[in-house]
Amino acid sequence: MKQLDTPDPVPEADAPPADRGAAADTPYDILVIGAGIAGLSLAAAVAREGRRVLLVAARDAHPREFRAEKFSGHEMDILDRLGLGAGARTVATEIQTVVEGRWGRLIKRVPSREYAVRYPDFVDAVRAVLPPTVESVTGRVVETETGADRQTLVLADGRRYTGRLLVVATGLGETMLRALGFERRTVSRDHALVYGFNTACSYAVFAGEQLIWNAEAGGDGVAYLTLFPLGTTIRANLFTYWPKGSAAAEAFIADPSGTLARLMPGLTKTFGRIEAVSSLQQRPIDIVEISNPVRDGVVVIGDAFCTTCPGWGTGITKALSDVMVLNRLLPGWLETPGMGSAKIAAYYADLEKKTADEASVGKSLRLRRMKMDRDLASRFISIRSTVYRRGEQALKDAAAALRRLAERVRPGAPAQNA
C-alpha cells in the first residue's frame, strides 16, 4: 500500500520572545490575522494605499499542507498589481497551453496562461516580498476584544495590538472563528476528495502544457485528472467525489496506477500507465460558510468565510475577489468614525462579492450533482450537458475536416498522399 501523507497539524506554540513595550498601544487602521494568500494580499493592498496594517501570522513559514497547486494568469495579474507577483514567480512553473481529453480521447488544445505551485512555497514566496510598510508579527492570538470603535488582539507572550478593523483570514482554521463567536454551517458535507502525487510521466511530453482528462464513465465518482509540470516533475491532481475511507478511495491509495487504468482506459491508451512515484497526498473537502458574519469591527475573508471545491479552480480567485472588494470599501469606511455593523454588512452585501461567492459554491454544487445524484432532474442536467458538449465538439470536428478537405482540393495546392 502506498504511504499516505496527511497535512501538518496547526501548531499552537507561543510566539518567540519579543519586545512588549512599544507595540502595546500602537493604533493600526487594519489588523489582519492569517498569513495565507488572502491575508497577505489584503495586507499588501492596504499598505499600498498608505494605511497602517499589522499582519499576525501563527508561524514563520506556512505548514506543508496540500492545497491549491495551480492558479490563473488573471490571478497572477492581480498579484502583480499588489507587488507580490515577483515573489510568486520564483516558485511557479508557467503553463501556456491546456490540452483537454473527453470521452476517452483528446479533443482540443488551447492557449491558457496558468501557473503551477506547491501552495506552502507559494505562500512563503509571496510573504517574502510584502511591502516594507506591512508590519508583521508571529504569534498565537489568545484574546480578542471587538466593538464598534476599536479592536484589540493579545498574543500569548503578552503583546497587545489595537486597530480600527479586524480582518480574519485564517483559512481552514476554526479556533479564531469560534473565539470570536462565529458559527459555520455545512453547505455540502464530504463534498469532494482530492489527491496529489508526482508521476513518472515524461517532462518532455508535458513541458509548458497541462492535460485535463475528464472522467470516462458516469457513476464512478471521478470528476477529472490533471497532469502538469511543476518544476521538472509532472504532477497529477485527481478530483473525485469519493468519501474519505470509502472502498473507491482505499482502492486508489493501494494502487493508483491500476485504478486510473481501469477508470480512464482512454488516458492509458493515449499516454500509457500513469505511475505514481511519490507518496499520495489527499485533501477531503467540506463546503462550509459563516452563517452569522455581520458584527461590529470584524470582517472574515477567503476560506475562513466560505470554503470552496478546488476541483473548479475558484479558491484563489474568490480569496482575491474578497481582498479587492474589501480594499475598495476601506477608504470610505476609514474616512468616518466607527466600524459598526452597518459598514461591515455592506461588504457581505456587495454585488461583486456575492456574485463571486455564488458562482464558486453554486458551480461546485451543480457539477457534483451532475456526477453523483441519480434523480431525474440531475440525470436530465447531465444528459443535456453531455449532448451539448458532444454536439459542439462534432461541429468543431466537422469544420476542421472541411478545412482540411478545402486545402486538398484548393487549386494549385500540392498533391497529398491518400
Query: 36, 38, 183, 50: which is closest to 124 by C-alpha?
Result: 36
pLDDT at 310: 77
The helix (run of H) or strand (run of E) holding residue 17 is none
pLDDT at 93: 97
Q: How do residues 66-86 score in pLDDT, each as one tens digit?
A: 988 999 999 999 999 999 999
pLDDT at 232: 93
* Joined grid coordinates for residue 92: 511557479
The helix (run of H) or strand (run of E) holding residue 277 is none
Average per-residue pLDDT for the chain: 86
Q: How do residues 304-340 score in pLDDT, each as one tens digit?
A: 999 988 776 677 889 999 999 999 999 999 999 999 9
Supply the pTM of this predicted model. 0.83
- Predicted confidence band at 21 (pLDDT cuts at 50, 70, 90)? very low
CB 177 within 8 A of CB 289: no
Residues 6+ apart with CB under 8 A from 36: 62, 123, 169, 170, 171, 302, 303, 319
pLDDT at 172: 84
Mean pLDDT of 157-170: 97
- How many whole angstroms separate alpha carbon 177 and alpha carbon 163? 18
Beta bridge partners of residue 145, listed in sequence order: 152
How do beta strands 105-116 and 93-102 pair? antiparallel
CA angle 153, 52, 123 (to 5 degrees): 75
The helix (run of H) or strand (run of E) holding residue 188 is strand 184-199
Q: How do residues 117-155 score in pLDDT, each as one tens digit?
A: 999 999 999 999 999 999 999 999 999 999 999 999 999
Query: Quick check: 353 pLDDT over 90?
Result: yes
